[in-house]
Structure 1
């Protein structure tokens, strides 16, 4: 990151379900900034990961929180500096890629970003953060938002509630926070319907999202596909990559199990009634 950005106020958070893949991509993460990991092997990801970050992680002093999955390969780091600068000057709270209308494999809600890569003004959000408020926002109202979607080249569902974490971003939109949306496209449109390249503010690719991190090391085809992308596109790695601070909710898998049990019981009771 460049000197004009106060790197001590930036942190990069990765919720990791596949540590084998994370070990391959970690050295390409932007150097010089704080790295944090949430151990997601117990089923924590998405909305649960966001709640854990805002409620449990030691983020005092952090202004900008970058979310990046373990299957994100950073190609260059200047773009992050420029995105954060634009967010700061333009009073944006969120930057990311729309989860509908941009990526051919994601035709869901175009008003919110997918969390595979996202930049949050953590400091601003933390001052108003309320789990109870957020949990009440998983609904859609036709024509509620006024984003101009005419330029989108992929189909979408403006009323989609496909991902549970949408409520976090819908909450921010309903509080009139500004979103900076980045362009993206398939890396190899003729041969790979998954891998996505994300463009910086100058319309040049600055990261690749391979998708299917959970399949890495388990599915031969997906493992080969991801390794080929890394081998082909990875820039010079940071051999002195900072060790990440690793955090884990040891009781989460039990909480998740109880949640699923409660839902099954409610569904059964609903059918009986």
Structure 2
């Protein structure tokens, strides 16, 4: 397909907690672009993955960074390029699905995308990136943002701070970066209250998110549900799928353990002084 987008400047990043599931979905990821994996089996995901990507991964030649979980099944890869073209032409920094107002089981902040699938203008963001600034943004101000939410068809909480990674996107919004939000709906609304289809700019589904990747291979019902979706909807796999570059912070599980210990101590001290 003719496009002005340089594929060599696109990278798809998956933080993988379940490699058994990733092995099934990887070959359906878009062809011709760089694939990266953060090994998330030590507990890294969400905001920690974002920090790790911006601070540790070799991304200096990347313009567009796509975040996609291991339980995302791509149906139409050309649609992804169309989204990137729209982002480039209209100066969007972020594209994704609202974490409130679209799906019944995600009734949180509608101003923020869920990171199961998200496209970032990495080149733009990296020039202003500051972990310290980002970490200070996990707060809400009533009526701070002016997005028109009247079209949203399910509940949401405009002041929700449910996910720790919200601060990253709140930081960008407070710097007046533009977000391109995609429509989404349940894949099987009568039988499955989790699986999600995401619509491209032409309002045709281009990916499915099964949810509950961590339960795959551990919970029989969730494993059966996810396998049924893959078997039914998987398009032709990319027989020449690029091997992913795999990265892992070998010390993260220890850092996470220390962080949890610090939080427990702070909670105990707080309770002690409250008493």
1:154 maps to which residue?
Answer: 154
Count of aligned pairs: 273
Q: Does 1:238 align with 2:238?
A: yes
Structure 1 residue 141, shift from structure 2 partner: 0.1
Task: State the alpha-carbon separation in 2 of the partners of residues 47 and 159 from structure 1.
Answer: 19
Q: In structure 1, the residue corresponding to 2:147 is in which secondary structure? A: coil
2:178 corresponds in structure 1 to 178
Q: Name the structure 2 match of 1:122.
A: 122
What is the CA distance between 1:3 and its match in structure 2?
Answer: 4.4
| 1:33-61 deviation line (CA, Å, top 9, x unaligned) | 00000000000000000000000000011
Measure, in 2, the Cα distance between the counterparts of 1:2 and 1:64: 18
Q: Does 1:8 align with 2:5?
A: no
- For the residues of structure 2 that align with 1:248 and 1:3, how far apart are their CA atoms? 34
What TM-score comes out, normalization by structure 2 length? 0.98
For 2:3 and 2:245, how far apart are their aligned partners in 1?
A: 23
**Residue pair 1:10, 1:66 contacting (<8 A) in 2 also:** yes
Match of 1:197 in 2: 197
Q: 2:165 corresponds to which residue?
A: 165
* Deviations 1:106-143 (CA, angstroms, capped at 9, x unpaired): 00000000000000000000000000000000000000
2: CA distance between counterparts of 1:81 and 1:246?
A: 24
Please give the residue correspondences for 1:1-273 in structure 2 after superposition, counting only pairs within 5 Å. 3-273=3-273
Maintained 8 Å contact 1:12/1:34: yes
SS of the residue corresponding to residue 94 of structure 1 reads: strand
Unpaired stretches in structure 1, ≥5 consecutive residues: none
Checking the alignment, whether the CA contact within 8 Å between 1:2 and 1:81 is kept in structure 2 is no
TM-fit CA distance, 1:78 = 1.0
Task: Give distance in 1, aligned partners of 2:238 and 2:88.
Answer: 27
Please say if residues 9 and 62 of structure 1, whose CA atoms lie closer than 8 Å, have aligned partners that are also in contact. yes
Return closer, same or farther for 1:2/1:229 CA change in 2, 3 Å cut-off.
farther
In the superposition, the TM-score normalised over structure 1's length comes to 0.99
SS of the aligned residue for 1:97 comes to strand
- CA deviation digits over 1:25-84, x for unaligned, max 9? 000000000000000000000000000000000001100000000000000111111100
5+ residue gaps, structure 2, are: none
Cα distance in 2 for partners of 1:250, 1:81 equals 34
